[in-house]
């Protein structure tokens, strides 16, 4: 792990491998950069792959806030410190929403975006039916308070629900993506979940003016595929790939296919 001391005294940690054009990958809610272990291994022969831990996640220190803007502020400082140019940036789930928030501030450093199982609004409401019901999110928050580790385990399993995934492969994913990372503190997970519940980024989509790959699984029970279609329809330069039989974590379910697509898009 590498570390940067931020201007407020906190540290931001990241994994890095390879040389070449920069490829930055942002993880999802309550996960860490460990989820991209295979991506670093497979893509580092052609790219400089960087996977930061969001504040309060993995090895990065926490902060006073966990909204999209808070995560983005740390990443902006990190990108400026590394002086990255012409970077492809990919965001998975919450990481995708952080990326939507971050893009206007770093657009001069970014050449392309990848939005993986992402959405402009996580929770459903009257004019948005492409998210999780608010009641389901509130129940999840309650369960996190009652039994944090069990709820986190159930949420991780939900990401693969409806898939035909080999049990040995699932255990392998658990080993590198979860056990080799660090779960956030329960309070951090709860506050970040509340930010997901409240957040709405539909108004900012027209400002995303670079080529964007929207990638989604058609079995996703965390972020409905309709949200991916919405992104592809409302981002000015987007293309959509919908993977059949895949849930919320396509790069874990179909790594060879996904990494080949990323290589092609990034090149």
Instruction: Count Cβ atoms below 10 Å from residue 201 Cβ, excluding itself.
Output: 19
Q: Choose, from 27, 70, 248, 253, the residue flagged as catalytic.
A: 248
Instruction: Count Cβ atoms below 10 Å from residue 198 Cβ, excluding itself.
Output: 12
**C-alpha to C-alpha distance for 36 and 264, rounded to whole angstroms:** 18
Q: Is 234 a catalytic residue?
A: no
**DSSP characters for 137-159?**
HHHHHHHHHH-HHHHHHHHHHHT
CB burial of 152-189 (b: ≥16 within 10 Å; e: otherwise) equals: beebbeebbeebebeeeebeebeebbbeebbbbeeebb
CB 70 within 8 A of CB 63: yes
**C-alpha to C-alpha distance for 18 and 16, rounded to whole angstroms:** 7
Q: Choose, from 42, 70, 220, 253, the residue flagged as catalytic.
A: 220
Q: Choose, from 93, 117, 216, 253, the residue flagged as catalytic.
A: 93
Q: Is 220 a catalytic residue?
A: yes
Q: Is 253 a catalytic residue?
A: no
Q: Which residues are catalytic?
A: 93, 220, 248
């Amino acid at each position: 792990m590498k570390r940067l001391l931020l201007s407020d005294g906190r540290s931001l940690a990241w994994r890095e491998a390879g040389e070449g054009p920069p490829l930055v990958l942002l993880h999802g809610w309550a996960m860490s950069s460990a989820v991209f272990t295979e991506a670093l291994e497979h893509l580092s022969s052609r790219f400089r792959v960087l996977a930061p831990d969001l504040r309060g996640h993995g090895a990065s220190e926490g902060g006073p806030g966990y909204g999209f803007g808070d995560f983005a502020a740390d990443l902006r400082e990190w990108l400026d410190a590394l002086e990255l140019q012409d970077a492809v940036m990919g965001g998975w789930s919450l990481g995708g929403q952080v990326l939507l928030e971050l893009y206007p501030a770093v657009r001069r450093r970014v050449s392309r975006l990848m939005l993986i199982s992402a959405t402009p609004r996580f929770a459903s409401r009257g004019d948005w039916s492409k998210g999780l019901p608010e009641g389901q999110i509130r129940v999840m928050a309650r369960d996190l308070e009652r039994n944090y580790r069990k709820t986190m385990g159930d949420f991780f399993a939900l990401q693969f629900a409806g898939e035909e995934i080999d049990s040995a492969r699932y255990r392998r994913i658990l080993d590198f993506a979860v056990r080799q990372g660090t779960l956030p503190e329960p309070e951090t997970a709860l506050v970040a979940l509340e930010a997901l519940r409240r957040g709405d980024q539909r108004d900012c989509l027209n400002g995303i003016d670079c080529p964007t790959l929207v990638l989604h699984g058609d079995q996703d029970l965390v972020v409905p595929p309709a949200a991916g279609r919405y992104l592809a329809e409302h981002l000015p330069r987007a293309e959509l790939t919908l993977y059949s039989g895949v849930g919320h974590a396509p790069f874990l379910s179909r790594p060879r296919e996904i990494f080949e697509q990323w290589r092609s898009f990034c090149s």
